[in-house]
Every structure is written in structure tokens, then in C-alpha cells.
Amino acid sequence: MYGFLIGVGVLLLLSIIWMVYRIQTLVSVVKGSDKKVASGSNKVNAILFVLFLVGSGILMFWYSIKEFDNYQLPIASEHGMVTDKLFWITMAVTGVVFLITHVLLFIFPYKYQYSEKRKASFYPDNNKLEIIWTIVPGIVLAGLVISGWMAWSDITAPAPEKAHVVEIMGYQFAWEVRYPGTDNVLGDYDYRLITASNSHGVDFTDKNSIDDFPSPKVVIPKGEPVLFKIRARDVLHSVFAPHMRLKMDAVPGMPTRFWFVPTKTTAEMRIELNDPEFEYEIACTEICGRGHFSMKKVIEVVEPEAYQKWLSEQKSFIQMNPSLAEGLPAETKELAEIQLKK
Amino acid sequence: MASATVANHDTAAHDHHDHEHHDNFVTKYIFTQDHKMIGKQFLITGMFWAIIGGFLSILFRLQLGFPDMDMSFLRPILGGWIDDTGALDPTFYLALVTMHGTIMVFFVLTAGLSGTFSNYLIPLQIGARDMASGFMNMLSYWFFFLSGVIMFISLFIKTGPAGGGWVVYPPLSALEQAIPGSGLGMTLWLVAMTFFIASSLLGGINYITTVINLRTKGMSFSRLPLTIWAFFLTAVIGLLSFPVLFAAALLLVFDRSFGTSFYLSDIYIGGEALPNTGGSPVLYQHLFWFLGHPEVYIVLLPALGITSEVIATNSRKPIFGYKAMIISMLGITILSFIVWAHHMFVSGMNPFLGSIFMFLTLIIAVPSAVKVFNYLTTLWRGNLIFTPGMLFSIGLVSFFISGGLTGIFLGNSAIDIQLHDTYFVVAHFHLVMGSASFFGLMAGVYHWFPKMFGRMMDARLGYVHFWLTFVGVYLVFFPMHYIGIAGFPRRYYSWTNFEFANMYTDLNMFVSVAAIITFAAQFIFIFNFFYSMYRGRKATLNPWRSNTLEWTTPLYPGHGNWPGEIPTVYRWPYDYSKPGAEEDFIPQTVPLSATPESNLPHEQEMVKLELEIMKEDEEVLVANESKH
């Protein structure tokens, strides 16, 4: 019944709009305003541009200021400070251009709306102007590019020797984490070795892999360089740690990396944000299938001492599952047994 | 010699034209070789696809704005993709964004925009009877149509259409185990795109040949309207870049069906290790973006060309910096081929490459800036008439600025680390490429509708359509900048899994409502379009008092465009409000010798030469006539 009534209502509304529209058209024909070059609507449109400029300008400033703390995520890495500074410098430069061009774009329609008394000025070119507004943006952009390039070179430079290595492997639809253990060298892996009990495909015939251990979350020390070694097992994924300003694709068959220095522990961030539940998170930002939106991993940043303590408490793959050591060649088997005795 | 060939060609075409009145329904409306009808075919098909593409976006905006909504009412359309609890299937969500992207980029903004206006305007504005090859032109449309049919079918198959994003990166798009859409849906996507590429190439070759060879007498390259320059350069870009997409797609087909490893390596999926080794998914990304980035300019340049023409006409002023406009378009054309890897800063490619591409990318901002400044100066001290076409052109300039400026963030690889694949990118390209090009398309339709159908569209409905769409587009895409700066990733079915993104539900709801209203407003246009086609006010021959050649044709131009001789061109197309002239426009067909009162000094010198040429022509013509 309601559906029927709504239908009738909509029909009535449409027919009223239709009538108004027809009457308008006929009136304009009678008045002969359709013969004019520019009718009264010309003025209305000109005014609307100015209204739009003012209205949307107010809305933009109001919302940008009000919501600043919401959209500006706190920064928790050293290079994040640099890239965010670049971001806001670029925002200032482009913001000025944005405002000036838009003020002109919407004021001109009002100022120069059609008038029969006036003739537009014939002004086809001015090479001096063209050269100015080619060179000035060129210089400004060069400044932005060079500062961006210097930051990019630093960020992508090889990681310091002493960086703590963490391997992050993406698969549908989660991340797995592997630490290199006391030697700080990750053991080899091969995707053909992946089994239910060896989800990383770690090659335990490599000596370096004996002390490797898994972790349910990424634990890293504050203030010390950390190197993420990133890979994928099935399709493309992308490691995104928003607070660290860190993003790097995980590519099957091509290991990638990203190093950084965290600057705030999870505990410090909890106090800063007044949120006792706060966790640093890793999300996936390369479309990878049905569960793309749920690939979450927690990063815990701790003080360096706490990190060393945590490291010493971890159990290696072999310790957790001694069967992995079966069938290893004599030399590595010996190492594995030493591990097991710990 | 040259003038003689042109004249001969003209008479030949004219004779041909006289026998052209036996069109039946099929040859006139379906398998037509008339560029005007083919242009209209592209337009109507493009509009169909725009509605489909827009509707798909409404579906996923419902999910994003109202994640807890019961979508059971959509079951009649979506069937099993709505589960028992009334929630949208996450896999189908990905299929929706994929198909929305594919449809909008290729079917609406490439075929619908470039296909429509290149076809319709090139012969009319350069003074040609038709395209260089009417048959190839017909094939171009029908390959596009076939491509569309295949893509349309893929929407309805059981495993769903392709779902790996419009970029269809392997391995996701190569492995059926990874996502169901990579099965038959992806196969159909690849087949459809193959036909689409063929269609684009056939069209592009035609546009280029026609512009180079069939310009009427006097229509030198320096007298071409900027629309034609834009269509010409667009066709060049398409001709050089689409084959690379074809190569990328072909290798993907090999990987999918014939066991090769171009893109696949070290993959363990569905409980088994695949035998493929040595391939590189990054190779695909390089190949794809070698088309993908020029594609941005393929959809944008025609819109900018249309805008140049519409703004100049309705400002009653010559476009400011005609040569600078051409040079910047040339610059964009060349640079568009060497910036592709800025889509891949964090793909794992060598960071040194990232540095190179950052430099190249920010260079391309310069010609874009020059274009904006030139548009602004064209408006300055003009005598502006706000036709709906003019409104949409001004809207385009606004979107081009807003979206272009955010490109400066994304082209900077250091800043891109955080923003890559977030909603900031979504906001950026929807404004600068999506909405700007769409507004160019709309400006073109409103401006050339009187030529296409001999009737006027209703201006008042046009104003309503413009303001709803203009404000609507900003309300949809401007908030996405905030969401993007906050780090919300793209192509997410829901953000509630993450603490950092578990906010802005209100803003997302707002965006969705704005999107629905904006989409609904497009039906005002659809109504206006079809109603005016049959019942609109009869148009005058030159309703916008414009200078270009298409307005010298009859109200309903036949196949061949001009009933008699093709008019000769004596001047550039932007003689608006020339000092001394009585009217505020001088069409291109008016000889300089007829307007001594308004000629500039250097033009006055050309008058003598012009008279000589006219006399020679007269003689050639008389000689030809006597041969018959």
C-alpha cells in the first residue's frame, strides 16, 4: 500500500515539475528571451560562481582546521618527520596556487559576464607572460623535486649494518613474521619447501636458519634502525604502516626492503593519544583478493632493553617443532641439536 | 600543384556525394560509414556505459557509506552476491571497483569522449567530406561495440567479472585460485580489451590520416582549432601506447593459459607450489603503465581541446596563447610517455628509477600549469556567456586545477610513500582525470548538440544539471583527500579491522549520499538529451556565433557535409571581438580581403597573396568544369 502511495506521490511530483518546465519554456518563447544572446540566467550563473567560491571556501577551511588532529596521524619514525614536512610544504605551495587560481576562475565569470554594451578585448597572446608562467612554476617545482629527491635518496639508501632485520611475508590473507635470531642473518628460503609446518619455506639446511624464529607480531626497538625484508608467497601485497610512513610492495619472486628508525614506543604513543588500546598496525595496500581489507599485523615498538629481553625469550622454529631438524645434513643437524638443548 | 589535387579531390567527393541518397535504415543508422553517425553511435554507447559504470559505483558507495545496511533489496539484480544476512560479497565488491574503473576509463572516457568528438568534429572542423577511411571508421565502432558486449556479458557470469582492480596486476589476475574473478571473468576482460584496442587503433589511424591529408584549402596546421590539435595528439598517443597494453595483455594470456612465466615466479597458492619461476610481476606493471599513464592524457586532452574551443567562443575572445596551448599539448604528449613509473614508486623497483621518474613527472606539471593560466587569461576581460557548455568548461578548469595540484604530492616519491594507494590517490585522479574529462564530454555534448541533431538542448535544465553535478562532484571527491591523508587504503571492503582507519564513518556516509545525488542528477541530462533530440527548439545555423567550419554546414548535413564545394579557410578560428569588426566574430571562411576594417597590420600584407590564390583557384575551377 505504502509503495503504491509513494509511487503516486512521485508521479505527481514529476508531472508538476514537467508542467512548470513546459510553462517556463513557453513563457520564454513568448517573451522572446530565447532570441537574446544572454538571458537573465546569465547573471544568476555568474552570481552562483561567486557563491560557490565563498561557500566552498568557508566549508574547506572550517573542516580542514576542525578535523586536523583526526586526519593528521601522529608520526612514529625518523623519515616520517621528513616526508610529512615535505607534504606540508607542498600543501602550502599548492594551497596558495589553488586559492589564487580559484578566486580568479570564479570572480572572472562575475566580473566579465555578458553585456551588450561591452566588447571583449582582443588579446590573443603575450609571449612575455607565457615565458613567466612557464619559468616560475618550473623553478618552484624544481625546488620541490630536489627536496623530495634528497629525502627519497636517504630513505631508500642501504640500511645501516647494525639494523635489526625482520622478515615480513604476505600471503592471502595475513602476514607472517620471521626474525633472524642471534646471528641477525635470515636463513635461505625456497617456496617449494613450504609445508603446513614450514609456512615460510625456510631452508633448514642453511646454517643461518637454525636460530630463526617466528613471531605473532612485529616487535622492534625504539631509536634503532630496523630493516623490513619483505616478500610475498602468492600474489602482490603491500606492507603499509601508516604511523611509520612506511609502504613497500611485497612481490612474489622479488624480495623488497624498507628500513626506518621508530621514534616512539607503543607505550609512549598510548600516553600521547590518551588511548590505552592503541597499537601500531600494518595493513595491505595492494589489492590481493577477497580478504584484502583484513590483513592486519600489530607492530610493537619497545625500549631497546626490553627488545633485547624479548629477543632472548623467543623460541626458534626448530625448538618449537623439532621434527623440522630431521633429515638435515650432519653439520647443521649438530647446530640444531645445540639449539634444542638450550 | 597542391591546390589542383585538393580541387580534384573535392569534385570527386562531390560527385560521389550526389549518388549517396539511397541509404536504407541499416546503412544509415547501423553499418554507417558517415563519420557523423559513427560519432553519435559512440556517444550513445558511451552514455549507456556511463550509466552502468556510475551505477556500479553507487553499489560500492552504499557498502562504504552504510556498511551495516541490509542490501537484500538489491537481490533481484545482484542475486547470490548478496549473502543471507543481506551483506554484499567482498569478492564482488572488488569486481565492482574493477569494472567501474575499466568501464569509466576505457568505454566512457576513451571511446565515449575521444570516439564521439574525434569522429564528429574532425571532418567538420577541418573541412573534409568524411574520414580518410569510412570503412575502417565503421569497423572501429563495431569492434568497440563487440568489446562492450563481451564486457557486459562478463558482468553476469557465475564467477563474476574480473576483480583484480582495473590495472589487473598479475599474479592476482593470472591465478584463478587467487580470486574467482580471475577465471572466466578475466578471460572475457582480456578478450574485450583486445577488441577495444583494435577499435582504438583503427580510429586513431583514421584521425591522424584525416587531419594530415584531408584539411580543406587554407586550413594549415596553424589555423586548426585547438579541438583538432587535441584529437590529433590524442590519436598519436593512443597509436603509440595501446599496442603496449596489447603486448602486456598477450603475455598475461600466455601466463594464464599456456604455462609461461613472464609475470609469475615463486608462487605457493592453494596448498601447492606452482612450477613458474623467473617471471616478474613488476614487468607487467611497467608495460601496463606505459599505456596506463598516456591513457590519462588520452582521456584528458580531448576534454581540454573541447574546453579551449567552448571557452573561447563563449568568452567572445580569442583563446589566449594559441601557440603556447599547442606547444604545451605537444609537451604533454611527449612527456606522457616518460613518466609511467611514478605509479610504481613503492612497487619494489630500483629506487634510482624512482628518482628519475620523479624529475620527469614534475616537469609535466609545467605545461599543465601553462594551460590553466591561459584559460584564466582567456576569461579575463571577456564577455562571458554562460551556456551549459561554458559552465561545464569552467567546471573542468576547476577540477583540472584541484586534481592537478594533488598530482604534485603524488609525483614526489618521498611523499608518495605514505599516500600511494590511499584515498588521496582516488580523490586525485577522479578529479583531474575522471571528472575533468567527464565535464569536457558534457561541455562538448551541450555545445555541439545543435549541430548533431539540429535542435537545441534546454539551457535551464542544463544549468540545473551543471550545478548539481559540479557541487556534487566536489562533495564526493574533496572529502576523500582527508580520508586519504588519514591513510585509508583503496579498494577496501570495510575499514573497521584497523584502529587507524576506524573513523570517518560519517564522512564516508556523506560521500555516499553526495554520490547518489550526483548520479541521480545525470538523469536530468539524459532526459534533456533525448527529449531535445525530438522536441527541442529548432537550432539556428550558428547558435553560438562561432567561427569554426562545422557551423557553415546545413542544419542537417548529409553524408559529405557540405552540399556544394567545401569552403576555403582564410584565417585562424579565434577572431572573436576583433577591433574594428562589426560583429564580435569572424568565421574562418571570411577572407581577409573582405575585412579590411579589422585586419591587423601583418594580415593586411597577406591580403594581396590571398587575392592571387583566389584568382588561381577560380581558373582551376573553371578548367575543371569545362572538362565535364
| CA gap A180, A267 in Å, rounded | 25
Structure confidence by residue, pLDDT tens digits, B485-542: 999 999 999 999 998 888 899 999 999 999 999 999 999 999 999 999 999 989 999 9
- The mean per-residue pLDDT over the stretch B3-32 comes to 58
Of A24, A137, A151, the CB nearest to B366: A137
Using only the alpha carbons of chain B, give its radius of gyration: 26
- Tell me the nearest-neighbour CA distance from A228 into chain B, angstroms: 13
pLDDT score at B628: 60
Strand order in the sheet with A297-302: A218-221, A297-302, A280-284, A237-241, A246-250
A contact residues 255-314, partner B, Cβ 8 Å cutoff: 256, 277-279, 281, 283-294, 296
Identify the band that residue A49 occupies on the pLDDT scale cut at 50, 70 and 90: very high
Taking residues A9-13, what's their average pLDDT?
A: 87
Contacts (Cβ under 8 Å, ≥6 apart) of B307: B375, B393, B396, B397, B440, B443
Cross-chain CB nearest to B355 (options A25, A153, A249): A153
Angle, vertex CA B303, rays to CA B333 and CA B212, nearest 5: 55
Give the separation between CA B341 and CA B338, rounded to whole angstroms.
8
Q: Is the pLDDT of residue B5 over 50?
A: no
Nearest CA in chain A to B418: A245
pLDDT surpasses 50 at B18: no
pLDDT-derived band at A321 (thresholds 50, 70, 90) equals confident
B538 contacts in chain A (CB < 8 Å): none
pTM over 0.95: no
Cβ pair B320, A125 in contact under 8 A: yes
Omega cis (within 30) before B171: yes
Per residue in A207-244, pLDDT tens? 899 899 999 999 999 999 999 999 999 999 999 999 99
pLDDT at B110: 95
Tens of pLDDT, residues B570-616: 999 999 999 988 888 999 999 998 998 888 888 888 888 888 888 88
Determine contact: A67 vs chain B, CB below 8 A. Answer: yes
Q: Do B316 and B385 touch, CB atoms closer than 8 A?
A: yes
**Taking all residues of chain A, what is their mean pLDDT, rounded to a whole number?**
91
CA atoms of A41 and B277, how far apart (whole Å): 66
Lowest mean pLDDT among B16-25, B125-134, B256-265: B16-25
Of the candidates A228, A233, A166, A173, the residue with the CA atom closest to the CA atom of residue A199: A233
> Which residues does chain B have within 8 Å of residue A70's beta carbon, measured at their own beta carbons?
482, 486, 503-504
Hey, which residues 100-159 in chain A have their CB within 8 Å of chain B?
101-102, 104-106, 108-109, 112-115, 118-126, 129-130, 133-134, 137-138, 141-142, 144-145, 148-149, 151-153, 155-156
Paired strand residues for B576: B585
Q: Identify the pLDDT of residue A41.
A: 86
What are the backbone angles phi and psi of residue B453, rounded to the nearest 5°?
A: -120, 0
For B235, the enclosing helix (H) or strand (E) is helix B226-257
What value does the mean pLDDT take over residues B296-321?
Answer: 95
pLDDT at B485: 95
The reply to whether residue A289 touches residue B179, judged by beta carbons under 8 angstroms, is yes
Nearest chain A Cα distance for residue B381, angstroms: 6
**Closest Cα of chain A to B93: distance in Å?**
9
Of residues B573 and A21, the one with the higher pLDDT is B573
pLDDT of B16 strictly over 80: no
**DSSP E strand boundaries for B32-108:** none
| Per-residue pLDDT tens over the stretch B82-139 | 998 999 999 999 999 999 999 999 999 999 999 999 999 999 999 999 999 999 999 9
User: What is the rounded CA–CA span in Å between residue B555 and residue A92?
Assistant: 52
Average confidence (pLDDT) over B458-479: 95
Instruction: Report the candidate in B328, B3, B469 with the shortest Cα–Cα distance to residue A137.
Output: B328
Q: CB atoms < 10 A from the CB of B463, how many?
A: 18
Average pLDDT over residues B362-369: 91
CA distances from residue B39 to B44, B204, B210, B304, B307 in whole angstroms, order as listed:
9, 14, 15, 18, 18
Q: What is the pLDDT of residue B19?
A: 47
Mean pLDDT of chain B: 92
| pLDDT value at residue B615 | 85
B13-27, B200-214, B384-398, B495-509: least confident range = B13-27
Q: What does the pLDDT average to over B149-164?
A: 94
For position B22, what pLDDT does the model report? 64
A260: which chain B residues are within 8 Å (Cβ-Cβ)?
none
Rounded to 5°, angle at Cα B418 from B412 and B420? 70
pLDDT of A1 reads 66
Instruction: Give me the pLDDT at residue B21, please.
Output: 55
pLDDT above 90 covers what percent of chain B?
83
Q: How many helices (H) and strands (E) does chain B have?
A: 19, 2
Of chain A residues 161-200, which have a CB less than 8 A from chain B?
171-172, 191-192, 194
The Cα–Cα gap between B195 and B143 comes to 6
Instruction: Please tell me the predicted confidence (pLDDT) of residue B11.
Output: 43
Tell me the average pLDDT across A44-68: 95
Say which of A21, A48, A122 has its CB closest to residue B467: A48
pLDDT, tens digit (0-9, with 9 covering 90-100), for A86-116: 999 999 999 999 999 999 999 999 999 998 8
Cα gap B407→B296, rounded to integer Å: 12
Assess contact for B29 and B37: CB atoms under 8 A: yes
- 3-class secondary structure per residue, B491-560: CCCCCCCCCCCCCCHHHHHHHHHHHHHHHHHHHHHHHHHHHHHHHCCECCCCCCCCCCHHHHCCCCCCCC
**Residues from chain A contacting residue B365 (CB–CB below 8 Å):** 137, 141
- Residue A86 has a pLDDT of 96
pLDDT band (50, 70, 90) for residue B627? low
Question: For strand A256-260 and strand A226-232, is the pairing parallel, antiparallel, or unpaired?
Answer: antiparallel
Dump pLDDT digits (tens) for A114-129: 988 888 999 998 999 9
User: How does DSSP classify residue B583?
Assistant: S
Query: What is the percentage of chain B residues whose pLDDT exceeds 70?
Result: 96
What confidence score (pLDDT) does residue B466 get?
96
**Using one digit for the tens of pLDDT, what is the confidence trace for B428-455?**
999 999 999 999 999 999 999 999 999 9
pLDDT band at A35 (very low <50, low <70, confident <90, very high): low
Out of B280, B385, B489, closest to residue A283 by CB: B489
Cβ neighbours of B433 (radius 10 Å):
25
